[in-house]
Amino acid sequence: MARRKKIYEGKAKILYEGPEPGTIVQYFKDDATAFNAEKKATIDGKGVLNNRLSEFFMTGLNGIGVPTHFLKRLNMREQLVRAVEIIPLEVVVRNVAAGSISKRLGIAEGTPLPRPIVEFYYKDDDLGDPIVSEEHIIAFQWATQQDLDDMVALALRVNDFMSGCMLSVGIKLVDFKIEVGRIFEGDYQRLIVADEISPDSCRLWDIETGQKLDKDVFRRDLGNLADAYTEVAQRLGVLPKNATPMTKPTLIN
Ligand code: 5GP
């Protein structure tokens, strides 16, 4: 069988040409990186968990009318998604201070924020994804004012959905990052949620204990990352409760 054409390989995923025009196969790797790839490891089962968790969140979002690129899961590590033109910005929503905002503004980690705060970072590994203002984004034509308004609206709807999902299983959604892509329908363009939504791109804290259940476990050497992601998947009902962590997870179909 002919190999599929690889379009792009990133730190955690590989994109292949999809079976039909306008589709892409997104493959989730077990590789974990942090601090702009200064710290690297392979974590057995991470790709399988993120494939399944991203499917869970994106399906839920599609179901409430928040458009995403997700079409269907193909197998343990791959999902079929719509091809989009990625806007070169990371959109971060924060509910509680942690990570870079705590460092930058001297706000203690865990301080609730007065309202969800949306930030934009310019996607550029060489620059370490710097935070940028709307002024920069419009002046350098990374996106238009309309795109920005649409991105903020999308990000806040994702925040509402994800916060509710997590709250229902005893987890606080501290913050998360999404990426947004353009799709073209005739003369019109629409913005949709792209990339992935998984514990790699969120901060998730247990409401009772404060235990971290996200990529900070890897960033800060707090334990086994796959165990943390398995815990999230089990609470959400994506994995059966008795699934053993973790090299080969049992998935509920
Ligand atoms: P911070 O700016 O505090 O480092 O990150 C804020 C949130 O966005 C965290 O949930 C973090 O996981 C996510 N995030 C920021 N940049 C990236 C990135 O380049 N990749 C991933 N996977 N998540 C990111």
What string of DSSP letters covers 36-60?
Answer: TTTEEEE-TTHHHHHHHHHHHHHHH
Residue 166: asked if its preceding bond is cis (omega within 30°), the reply is: no
pLDDT confidence of residue 239: 87
pLDDT confidence of residue 223: 95
Pairing of strands 31-34, 6-9: unpaired
- Average predicted confidence (pLDDT) for the chain: 95
With cut-offs at 50, 70 and 90, classify the pLDDT of residue 9.
Answer: very high
Q: Cβ–Cβ contacts within 10 Å for residue 240, how many?
A: 12
Q: How far, in Å, CA of 191 to CA of 181, rounded?
A: 6
Degrees to nearest 5, angle at CA 99 with 134 and 217: 135
Is residue 126 scored above 60 in pLDDT? yes
For residues 197-217, give the mean pLDDT.
98
Report residue 210: phi and psi, to 5°: 80, 0
Q: What are the tens digits of pLDDT across the range 183-195?
A: 999 999 999 999 9
54 CB within 6 A, ligand 1: no
β-strand partners of 40:
33
For residues 205-229, give the mean pLDDT.
97
Instruction: Check: CB of residue 70 under 8 Å from CB of residue 81.
Output: yes
Q: How far is the CA of 35 from the centre of ligand 1 (A)?
A: 10
Ligand 1 atom nearest the C-alpha of 203 is 10
Q: What are the tens digits of pLDDT across the range 85-101?
A: 999 999 999 999 999 99
Q: Which residue has the higher pLDDT, 212 or 185?
A: 212
90 CB within 6 A, ligand 1: yes
Residue located nearest, by CA, to atom 16 of ligand 1: 177
For residues 132-151, give the mean pLDDT.
98
With cut-offs at 50, 70 and 90, classify the pLDDT of residue 4.
Answer: confident
**What single letter denotes the amino acid at residue 25?**
V
pLDDT confidence of residue 252: 56
201 CB within 6 A, ligand 1: yes
Tokens found for residue 27:
């493959």
With cut-offs at 50, 70 and 90, classify the pLDDT of residue 249.
Answer: low
Instruction: Write the CB contacts of 251 (distance below 8 Å, at least 6 apart in sequence).
Output: 48, 52, 76, 238, 239
Is residue 140 scored above 90 in pLDDT? yes
Ligand 1 atom nearest the C-alpha of 202 is 10
Nearest in space to 76 (alpha carbons), one of 42, 111, 92, 52: 52
With cut-offs at 50, 70 and 90, classify the pLDDT of residue 29.
Answer: very high
13 CB within 6 A, ligand 1: no
129 CB within 6 A, ligand 1: yes
Q: Quickly list H helices, the chain.
A: 46-63, 99-105, 134-139, 145-167, 216-219, 225-236
Tokens found for residue 138:
């419009």
Nearest in space to 6 (alpha carbons), one of 84, 107, 14: 14
Q: How far, in Å, CA of 41 to CA of 97, rounded?
A: 27
Q: Which residue has the higher pLDDT, 17 or 253?
A: 17
For residues 73-81, give the mean pLDDT.
98
Q: How far, in Å, CA of 165 to CA of 40, rounded?
A: 30
216 CB within 6 A, ligand 1: no
β-strand partners of 171:
206
Ligand 1 atom nearest the C-alpha of 36 is 19
196 CB within 6 A, ligand 1: no
Is residue 66 scored above 70 in pLDDT? yes
Is residue 80 scored above 70 in pLDDT? yes
pLDDT confidence of residue 251: 57
Q: Which pTM was predicted? A: 0.95
Q: What are the tens digits of pLDDT across the range 41-53?
A: 999 999 999 999 9
Instruction: Check: CB of residue 194 under 8 Å from CB of residue 83.
Output: no
175 CB within 6 A, ligand 1: yes
